[in-house]
Amino acid sequence: MADPADVGGGNRKRLLLLGGAAVLVLAVLATALTLGDRFTCGGPGSGVREIQGECIGITDGSFEFADEFAHVTDLIRAENERIDALDGPIVRVAFLGTLSFEEVGPMDPTRMRGALEGAYTAQIRANDTRAYGDPTPQIQLVLANMGGRQGSWEPVVDDLVAMSQDEERRLVAVTGMGVSIESTRDVAEELHEHDIPMISSAVTADGLAHGPEGIDDAGDAENPALPGVIRVAPSNNEYVKALKTYLEGLDGTARAVIVHDQTEPDLFVSTLKSAYDEHLSAYTEGRSVQTYRGTTVGDTPPAGLFSDVSGNVCATDADTILFAGRAPDLDAFLDSLKYSVCDRPMRILFVSTGMSMLNQEEEMRLIEEQDITLVYATGVDPRWNDAPAGSSGVPEGYPAFHDAYLDHFGEEDIDRERLANGYALVNHDAVAVAAAAIRMTNEQGNEQVAPNAESVQARLMLLNTRNNQIKVGGGKLSYSPESAGEAIGRYVPIVELPFDADADAAPEPHIITGE
């Protein structure tokens, strides 16, 4: 019989082994729980992790935030990998935005797909041509997702700040930032604390760019501004100036009433209402503002949202509505008018980065049946796509952008929908402005040294002479300390719906002058 001590010793060894295995299993489980968010979205090292059910973080294109982005993110990844193999200086530019989506939110996959396509088009033009200066340093494009409503911006901004301190592939500028809500203000304040310049693509709310005293100007209590931010799309103030020119060109004097979303906080609608008050008060005098509480960037508009508002509008003598709300609410408002008692033609004035409503068959049918003219101050005129080179009213740089975009995405965008909605254009132009400022650092003889974010930010305020204006798709842009972040030279076309595709673009569109 075996010695009991031996039996006991064997048991103790087995217990120790089993105990060690249990500890190992617990450690693995703990690690899995800790890193589970990173495995769910791309795996460790992908730069992306799950936060509140969304894949949040920064990728070089190797992770797809949405199926619709597969083609463009593959192209971005391939270009970034090509640059990785180079010996020369490399910098990074971030596209920061909402790349995952909820049922209702400030962005949708179609517009963001166009945005990414435009950003990639500018990246390729900057790296392969001299469109924006000497093609060194080469520019990698990274994609940063803050979530469907930008609720997860803080960890993403922390990662961007860390990337700005990377000696080998330093982040030197942030583009995108296309939603005019409070979290965009928070993002901008944090990035500016670390001297990272921001070129916003589609933020139009006044106050979301630097003040008139220079790029470090934060404005004052009554007119707060965001230092470090410039924009390539027009501000609400410039959009409304363009609408004023349109109204002045009518045969008779318009009789206008404002319809205003009072939901707070929404910087887009609040600053749009202020711009109407400042520039178009002569047309609204004597007519009360019609208010509603809309969706902002949240829920689907409830049924009957505009029943009282549309009735009140019809009860006035107004023939013009100045709409200060977001696009989903405009759709609901148009629907309410088909039940109204208005017995006269109406025009509705609105502002938008692009003409996304062109493909909304129900809305287009409604405005024709109700004898409504929808007038957009916008960032792109669809008629630019077919205009002959050198046409009056078309930005000089638009044909080159148009052709470059179609070279890469013509088969993906056969009906040119994403050209029409404006997001390809403004995001192309934002990356192009960043590239021009990056390449200006070479003028000091530093071609073989990658610039840092602070030196790129300084160059943004030097893009203002004949030699340093940037010929992009939306105009020949320039920036200066006193321009308050506006893109001087930017075209602001007016487009009417129902749309006459055979008409020429307006020969004398509003162009931002800074005055």
| pLDDT 10s digits, 125-162 | 999 999 998 899 999 999 999 987 887 889 999 999 99
What per-residue confidence (pLDDT) applies to 196? 95
The contacts of residue 184 (CB under 8 Å, 6+ apart) are: 150, 177, 203, 208, 267
What per-residue confidence (pLDDT) applies to 380? 93
DSSP state of 303: T
SS3 per residue for 229-292? EEECCCCHHHHHHHHHHHHHCCCCCCCEEEEEECCCCCHHHHHHHHHHHHHHHHHHCCCCCEEE
- pLDDT over 50 (residue 228): yes
Q: 46: burial class by Cβ within 10 Å (0-12, 13-18, 19+)?
A: middle
| pLDDT 10s digits, 195-217 | 999 999 988 988 888 888 888 88
User: How far, CA to CA in Å, does 301 sit from each of 282, 313, 353, 444?
Assistant: 31, 19, 21, 55
Q: What is the C-alpha separation between 103 and 95, in angstroms, rounded?
A: 23
| pLDDT 10s digits, 493-505 | 999 988 887 788 8
Q: Which domains does the chain have, with CATH numbers?
A: 51-233+391-490 (3.40.50.2300), 237-378 (3.40.50.2300)
- Residue, of 298 and 285, whose pLDDT is higher: 285
Task: Give residue for tokens 């030197």.
Answer: 172
- Here the tokens at position 186 are 């928070």
Q: 27: burial class by Cβ within 10 Å (0-12, 13-18, 19+)?
A: exposed
φ, ψ at 21 (rounded to 5°)? -65, -40
- Residue, of 101 and 129, whose pLDDT is higher: 129
| pLDDT 10s digits, 2-53 | 333 333 444 444 444 455 554 444 443 333 334 444 457 978 888 999 998 8
Q: What is the C-alpha separation between 486 and 137, in angstroms, rounded?
A: 27
φ, ψ at 477 (rounded to 5°)? -90, 150
What per-residue confidence (pLDDT) applies to 35? 47
CA 131 to chain CA centroid, Å, is 23
Number of H helices, E strands in the chain: 14, 17
What does the mean pLDDT of the chain come to? 86
| pLDDT 10s digits, 56-97 | 999 999 999 999 999 999 999 999 999 999 988 999 999 999
| pLDDT 10s digits, 429-443 | 999 999 999 999 887
Question: In this structure, are residues 210 and 228 in contact, taking their beta carbons and an 8 Å threshold?
Answer: yes
DSSP state of 369: H
What per-residue confidence (pLDDT) applies to 163? 96
Q: pTM score, two decimals? A: 0.89
Q: What is the C-alpha separation between 73 and 117, in angstroms, rounded?
A: 9
What per-residue confidence (pLDDT) applies to 127? 97
What is the band of 467 on the pLDDT scale with cuts at 50, 70, 90?
A: confident
Q: Is 122 left (phi over 0), alpha (psi -120 to 50) or beta?
A: alpha
Residue 57: its H or E element: strand 54-59
Mean pLDDT of 446-465: 86
Q: Point out which residues pair with 5 in neighbouring strands.
A: none
What per-residue confidence (pLDDT) applies to 8? 41
Q: What is the C-alpha separation between 7 and 319, in angstroms, rounded?
A: 99
- Residue, of 219 and 319, whose pLDDT is higher: 319
> 148 by DSSP, 3-state: which?
coil
